[in-house]
Amino acid sequence: MSSVDVRERAKKAEKKPSAIGPDIDLNAYSVEVKEHGKIQKLKNLSGEVKEKAISVGVEAVEACRSGSFFQMDHSVILSSAYKSGLEVMSSTEALKKYDWLQDYWWKAVNVDADKYTAQAELKQNHGYFLRALPGAKVEFPLQACLYMTQDGLAQNVHNIIIAEEGSELHIITGCTTAPGVRTGLHIGVSEFYVKRNAMVTFTMIHNWAEDVEVRPRTGAIVEDNGIFLSNYVCMKPVKTLQMYPTAYCVGENANVRFNTILFAREGSNMDVGGRVFLRAKGSRAELVTRAITKGGDIVTRGHLIGEVPGIRGHLECRGLILSEKGSIHAIPELEGKANNIDMSHEAAVGKIVEEEIQYLMARGLNSEEATSVIIGGFLDVEIKSIPEHLKREIKKAVRMGEERLL
């Protein structure tokens, strides 16, 4: 498909609302913003920016990172890889550099899926290109920060992540706004290609402002023995967030896991799902969600499609309602299209069980302390196979949100 065709399809979808989630008036957001100058080191960021970046796991100290990408509004102000075997650059730049990248562009996500994917094509503002060369194994994570400084701005990024055969890539992405920004629209298309025997772990932390609208559009294609682990944490306010990342296990023994941790307070509307097509023998998927509301509304979806014999999948969703207002709607879906498949789900939504609080109180905690220990435990999703310091980042992000839970 030529790039002309792609644009044609995007144009046709320009007004197509998303199948789910509140509709957004795209014209309400500006697409113009001044360019920001490049920086040499993340250290050179102002203290304020650094602080926000740290809140989403992006460290100015680059020692325990293998590369960094920083996009401010529509400008890529820094992109560099510190380790060999890795490539980090703006996706627009990469598209110019590599002809073959056309073969990956809009292959894991449909350009005409809805008006958000269409806008990402028609009004793209960079995004990152991250690639691990064949066999490259880098323990330290690559970090990417998408940062918005202007009120009312639309940021439309298109990210491509490629883990070539036998490589191992750990990524932490933080998305956030400058202090003082209240409104904005973030559209983020991310296409993951996990080749044979490769592994990608992708940890994304969101820390938006009260009135920001967010529409990530993610697709992942996982080949033989490939592993794709995606962790998503959103503990901070957001006006509307809707995403339904989809992974395709196309190779034998492909393995996908989504962990999602959500906290919605009053005024936040989150609709977050995960979908995995199990298309090859031995492929596996596990989706785990923890959702807490204190006044906000959460829809949590999971969808497994088992298309061939010998696949396995499990969905787990637990929701905790901490206030009179607010709602959690868990929608697990299992679709079996072959025999000899093993798919299951468990979902539970409710308030904290009083008996558990009493149990902890009998050991000496007062009721607030007991509640906080129970919430801490509830959010403590066991996250396997990612480096320790990324686990710490996730814990940190969760804890920062937790402080406001009580």
Task: State the virtual CA torsion across 146, 151, 154, 160 in degrees, nearest 10.
Answer: 0
Contact present, 159 and 186 (Cβ < 8 Å): no
Q: 148 is written with which tokens?
A: 């918005």
Decide whether 239 or 318 has the Cβ nearer to another protein: 318
Tell which one of 379, 383, 394, 397 touches another protein (CB under 8 A). 379
Minimum distance, C-beta of residue 377 to another protein, in the bound complex (Å):
3
Decide whether 333 or 356 has the Cβ nearer to another protein: 356
Minimum distance, C-beta of residue 290 to another protein, in the bound complex (Å):
9
Minimum distance, C-beta of residue 366 to another protein, in the bound complex (Å):
5
Q: Is the dihedral of CA 208, 209, 210, 215 positive or negative?
A: negative
Residue 117: CB atoms within 10 Å: 26
Tell which one of 44, 323, 358, 385 touches another protein (CB under 8 A). 358
Decide whether 322 or 373 has the Cβ nearer to another protein: 373
Tell which one of 39, 353, 385, 406 touches another protein (CB under 8 A). 353
Contact map string, positions 198 to 227, toward another protein, x by CB under 8 A: ------------------------------
Tell which one of 38, 61, 380, 404 touches another protein (CB under 8 A). 380
Listed residue (116, 372, 76, 113) closest to 240, CA to CA: 116
Tell which one of 84, 362, 388, 403 touches another protein (CB under 8 A). 362
**Region binding another protein by CB under 8 A among candidate stretches 267-275, 322-330, 335-343, 353-361:** 353-361
Decide whether 331 or 365 has the Cβ nearer to another protein: 365
Minimum distance, C-beta of residue 318 to another protein, in the bound complex (Å):
8
Would you count residue 388 as binding another protein (CB under 8 A)? Answer: no
**Region binding another protein by CB under 8 A among candidate stretches 52-60, 172-180, 187-195, 377-385:** 377-385
By CB under 8 A, the residues from 305 to 334 that bind another protein are: 318
Minimum distance, C-beta of residue 288 to another protein, in the bound complex (Å):
12
**Region binding another protein by CB under 8 A among candidate stretches 71-79, 232-240, 270-278, 375-383:** 375-383
Q: Residue count at the site for another protein (CB under 8 A)?
A: 22
Decide whether 49 or 328 has the Cβ nearer to another protein: 328
Decide whether 4 or 362 has the Cβ nearer to another protein: 362
Would you count residue 360 as binding another protein (CB under 8 A)? Answer: yes
Q: Which residues bind another protein (CB under 8 A)?
A: 318, 353, 355-356, 358-367, 370, 373-374, 376-380
